[in-house]
Structure 1
Amino acid sequence: MHPILNGIRLISFDLDGTLVDSVPDLAVAVDTSLGELGLPAAGEARVRDWVGNGSLKLVERALAFARNAPPDEALLGRAHEAFLECYGRDPGSRTRLYPGVSEALDGLRDGGWVLTLVTNKPFAFIRPILIQFGIEHHFALCLGGDSLPQKKPDPAPLLHVAAQFGLPPSQCLMVGDSRHDVAAGRAAGFRTLAVSYGYNHGEPVRDSRPDALVDSLAELV
Structure 2
Amino acid sequence: MLIDLKQVRSIVFDLDGTLYHSDGLAAEIQTVAASLVAETRGVSLKKGRTLLRNSRKRLAELLEEEPTLTRTCLTLGIEVPEFHRAMQAGVHPEQYLAPDPVLEALLDSLTGGWDLYLYTNNNLPLTEKILALLGVESLFRRLYTIEFNWTPKPDPETLQRVLEDIGGPPDSFLFVGDREQVDLKVPREMGIPTLLVAETADLLQIHKILGIIP
Identify whether the pair has TM-score above 0.5, normalized to the shorter chain.
Answer: yes
User: Which amino acid is 2:19 matched to?
Assistant: L
Could you say what secondary structure the match of 2:15 adopts?
A: coil
TM-score by structure 1 length? 0.67
Q: Is 1:88 matched with 2:88? A: yes
1:38 to 43, 52, 57: 43
SS of corresponding position for 1:175: strand
RMSD: 3.6
Q: 8 Å contact 1:176–1:194 — kept in the other structure?
A: yes
Q: Which residue number corresponds to residue 73 of structure 2? A: 59
**Aligned counterpart, 1:174:** 175
Residue aligning to 1:164: 165
Specify the SS of the correspondent of 1:24.
helix
Is residue 120 of structure 2 the alignment partner of residue 115 of structure 1?
no
How many Å apart are 1:80 and its aligned residue?
Answer: 7.6
Aligned to 2:147: 146
| Cα distance in 2, alignment partners of residues 15 and 23 from structure 1 | 12
1:49-81 superposed Cα distances (whole Å, 9 cap, x missing partner) = 99x855532435xxxxxxxxx74x3xx35x983
Size of the alignment, in residue pairs? Answer: 186
Shift of 1:12: 0.5
Task: Confirm or deny that 1:27 pairs with 2:30.
Answer: yes
The one-letter code matched in structure 2 to 1:38 is V
Aligned to 2:186: 184
Residue 142 of structure 1 deviates from its aligned partner by 1.0
Give me the whole-angstrom Cα distance separating, in 2, the residues matched to 1:86 and 1:194: 30
C-alpha distance 185-25 of structure 1, shift in aligned 2 (>3 A): same
Aligned equivalents of 1:102, 1:124: Cα separation in 2:
20
- 1:104 deviation in Å? 2.3
Q: 1:130 to 1:144 in 2, by over 3 A?
A: same
Q: Deviations over 1:164-215 (max 9, x none)?
A: 3431111111111111212121133211111124xxxxxxxxxxxxxxxx96
Q: Is the 8 A contact 1:100 1:218 kept in 2?
A: no
Q: Distance in 2 between matches of 1:28 and 1:151?
A: 19
Contact 1:145–1:151 under 8 Å retained in 2: yes
Q: Does 1:217 align with 2:203?
A: yes
**2:196 is aligned with what amino acid?**
A
Cα pair 1:23 1:95 within 8 Å, conserved: no
Q: Any conservation in 1 of the 2:11–2:175 contact (CA below 8 Å)?
A: yes
Instruction: Give me the TM-score of the superposition, normalised by structure 2.
Output: 0.68
Return the letter of the residue paired with 1:107: S
What amino acid does structure 2 have at the position aligned with 1:129?
A: I
Structure 2 segments unaligned to the other structure (5+ residues):
61-65, 208-214
Structure 2 CA distance for aligned equivalents of residues 106 and 195 of structure 1: 18
